[in-house]
Amino acid sequence: MKPFEHEDALQLDNQLCFKLYAASRAVIRAYKPMLDQLNLTYPQYLAMLVLWEWQLVPPPQPTVKALGERLLLDSGTLTPLLKRLQQLGLLLRQRSAEDEREVHLALTEAGRALRQRVLPLRRQLLCEQGVEVDELAELRSRVGQLLDRFMASR
């Protein structure tokens, strides 16, 4: 009998999807105290990570569409998130003069400054969890490879 045909294959604890889901929820829960100090939700934090990356290496078009592609989110999910970041004074959204459908993004000074507050909080979070950096890097790489395979098959 093949491994995927065995009865154990249908047990919850044998499901990679469940382990990834549960781990994701646990990590997000661990980030919550840090994010509360920053007045950000987890999805807003992810958006800020990309916007901070773009400060170092700007994309050709720093648009809502490009951010959605980077975060694997649709504009319906992204738009309210970005409105809230704008209300918090962390970013600016501006319609393109050439194409009104295109919305460009830029961090404000407060948005750029927030990055400096994140670094020590993130270090503290990792230390509190007792996570080894090398272990995280290996796990991130393996999960990234898995994600790439699933994205390629879309």
pLDDT digits (tens, 9 = 90+) for 131-140: 788 888 898 8
User: Is the pLDDT score of 6 beyond 70?
Assistant: yes
Task: List the beta bridge partners of residue 91.
Answer: 107
Under 8 Å between Cβ of 116 and 73: no
Domain ranges in the chain are: 32-127
Residue 117 tokens, joined: 């507050």
Query: Is it true that domain 32-127 has CATH number 2.160.10.10?
Result: no
- pTM listed for this prediction: 0.88
d(CA 50, CA 26): 22
d(CA 145, CA 88): 35
pLDDT digits (tens, 9 = 90+) for 60-110: 889 999 999 999 999 899 999 999 999 999 999 999 888 888 999 999 999
